[in-house]
Structure 1
Amino acid sequence: MLETGKKRGPKTDNPKTHKMGIKLDEKSKRILDAYCEQEKVSGAEAIRRGIGRLEPDLKK
C-alpha cells in the first residue's frame, strides 16, 4: 500500500504536472500519428515538441 504523498515512477528534472485533453480533426490526427511513428515518440511528446516550436513566436 502506498503512503500518502508518496510519488510513483522515476525521478525527473522536468515533472509533467499539468494534464490537458484535446480534440483533433482527422487530418491533424493523421499527421500526429505519422510523426509519432516516424520519430518513435508518444503523442504527448510530439505535442510537447510542437508547443516548443511556438516559443520563438512569443512576443517578449
Structure 2
Amino acid sequence: MDKKKMGRPTDNPKPYKIGVKLDQEAKDILDAYCEQESVSVMEAARRGIKRLKPDLKKK
C-alpha cells in the first residue's frame, strides 16, 4: 500500500517554495525583526511580501 504523507490539516496550505540570497544588512534586519516579533523567518518574509501589495499597479 502507498502511504501518503500526513501533516497537520490547515486552511492555508503553503505549497510554494522560494530561495533568497541576502546581504549582511538585510540578514541583520530580518534577524532583528524575527526576534522582536517572535516570528519565524518565513513568517517575516510573508509579512514583507504582503506589504508590497499596495504598490502593485492595477491592470
TM-score relative to the length of structure 2: 0.89
1:30 aligns with one of 28, 31, 38? 28
Q: Deviations over 1:13-41 (max 9, x none)?
A: 11110011110000000000000000000
Unaligned runs of 5+ in 1: none
Query: Which secondary structure does the structure 1 equivalent of 2:33 belong to?
Result: helix
Q: RMSD over aligned Cα, in angstroms?
A: 1.2
Identity score, percent: 67
TM-score relative to the length of structure 1: 0.87
CA distance in 2: counterparts of 1:40 and 1:22, whole angstroms: 21
Q: Select between 6-15 and 35-44 the one with higher mean Cα deviation.
A: 6-15
Tell me how far 1:44 sits from its aligned partner: 0.5
Unaligned runs of 5+ in 2: none
2:6 aligns with one of 8, 16, 19? 8
Q: Which segments of structure 1 move beyond 6 Å, counting only runs of 4 or more?
A: none
Match of residue 59 from structure 1 = 57
